[in-house]
Amino acid sequence: MSRKYFGTDGVRGRVGKLPITPDFAMRLGYAAGKVLASDHSVLQPGQHPTVLIGKDTRISCYMLESALTAGLTAAGVHVNLTGPLPTPAIAYLTRALRLQAGVVISASHNPYEDNGIKFFSATGQKLPDAVEEKIEAQIENEIHTAPSRELGRARRIEDAQARYIEFCKSSFPFDKDLRGLRIVVDCANGATYHVAPHVFHELGAEVVTIGTEPDGLNINLDCGATHTAALSSAVRKHRADFGIALDGDGDRLMMSDRDGRIFDGDQLVYVIARHRVETGYMKGGVAGTLMTNLGMEHALSRLGLPFSRAKVGDRYVLELLQEKGWQLGGETSGHILCLDKHKTGDGIISALQVLHALKDSGASLAEYTSDLTLYPQVLINVPIARRIDLSAALPVKEAEEQAKADMGEEGRIVLRPSGTEPLIRVMVESASEAQARKWAEHIAESVKLAAAA
């Protein structure tokens, strides 16, 4: 079945335009409730399913939360509300509270004008495609409100924040702490604003906070994991040992050393992998994506670790890890999965794994990643007016073959259509930045020719 509304990360779009409208959110809640209520494998006869709803700090979350709650309760589903909490917190609490599903209202790293709705299963993982398809099939159906005695109830979970803080802390060794460290924590004015500082402070660190004053409109605005200049500046200003930047919903991580140098997802995954190799804790290999730096692959090879690439998107990294029985993976953008610690990507927990490695080794981020040399990457977005078959476009194939012959094993090419915009993304990486730029521009021109043909 072709899915109309669900993308790779739930339903997402501009607020006020379909599908991010109150009417659609109510219909989505009702459809999800009907699907859950029909799942007799997890419910006793006459039992109401219960769903957890969390959100980030966007002003539109209040509207969507109310609409979803109305739809779910109309279908006879109980709703537990947490208020603003990170996406990974909802994944954890859904599992910990033995609920049938979790819902997060968030557009992650996007600006406040956007929003999204994504679902977690009872196991704390993203819903299988088959279940999303069942929900889509119900959306166009008319809403038939359950009889009054069968309506769902809504209530607030008062201790959700504290539960999640303790869960994050439990991922750090009990016999270790962060005493003696000054850490800047940038919460992107998002869902971690009242969680992340407490985690690091309660583990002993001196915490300096930025991006912890959400007003509904400033989420991800010039701060957080997608705008790290604020973190670098604050680390230098406060002479901190490390900086931690999270995104609006708390599943991405970037870090800074004391000099304000930013370390991306590839480098942080390498830190965790190296530490696990050195301590004998590593299980299997490392999963990345098509965009993971070639230098990362070479560095992991020197550690004796296998490496495999998935499509871009943390759900595909998760699928690859599950397929191979591995525990560690991530994306350059900062989505990091440590499946022995959590069932989904978690910025706070990932930061704690990095800090554990550095505390154990006594090394700085720069020292611990000295064996990892990132190759220059050049990315060009080529606008297209219509969909084109890249595999059948002769100019593109010829340009790729020329580039591969010139770069050999010291270069890599990725061509992929954007999942959200009418673009073809051309990425070339090479040991030489000039060489990468030359071939990226040449391939981009060939894509333009193919699109115009």
| 257-310 per-position pLDDT tens digit | 999 999 999 999 999 999 999 999 999 999 999 999 999 999 999 999 999 999
In the chain, where the domains are located: 11-158, 164-368, 377-452
Q: Which residues contact 165 (CB under 8 A, 6 or more apart)?
A: 195, 198, 199, 202
Residue 8, CA distances (Å) to 127, 154, 170, 183, 315 in order: 11, 29, 30, 34, 7
Q: Confirm if 288 and 331 have CB atoms less than 8 A apart.
A: yes
377-452 shares the fold of 11-158:
no
Residue 453, CA distances (Å) to 385, 387, 389 in order: 11, 12, 12
> Taking the domain 11-158, which CATH number applies?
3.40.120.10
Structure tokens at 349: 């927990």
Catalytic center residues: 108
Q: Which CATH superfamily is domain 164-368 in?
A: Alpha-D-Glucose-1,6-Bisphosphate, subunit A, domain 3 (3.40.120.10)
Q: What string of pLDDT tens digits covers the 453 residues of the chain?
A: 457 898 878 899 999 999 999 999 999 999 999 998 887 555 555 578 999 999 999 999 999 999 999 999 999 999 999 999 999 999 999 999 999 999 999 999 999 999 999 999 999 888 888 889 999 999 999 999 999 999 999 999 999 999 999 999 999 999 999 999 999 999 999 999 999 999 999 999 999 999 999 999 999 999 999 999 999 999 999 999 999 999 999 999 999 999 999 999 999 999 999 999 999 999 999 999 999 999 999 999 999 999 999 998 898 999 999 999 999 999 999 999 999 999 999 999 999 999 999 999 999 999 999 999 999 999 999 998 888 888 888 999 999 999 999 999 889 999 988 766 788 999 999 999 999 999 999 999 999 998 887
Q: Confirm if 94 and 124 have CB atoms less than 8 A apart.
A: yes
Q: Confirm if 102 and 120 have CB atoms less than 8 A apart.
A: yes
Cα–Cα distance, 50 to 7 (Å, whole number): 24
Cα–Cα distance, 123 to 121 (Å, whole number): 5
Class of domain 377-452: alpha beta
Distance between start and end Cα atoms, the chain: 31
Q: Which residues contact 237 (CB under 8 A, 6 or more apart)?
A: none
pLDDT at 137: 92
pLDDT at 3: 73
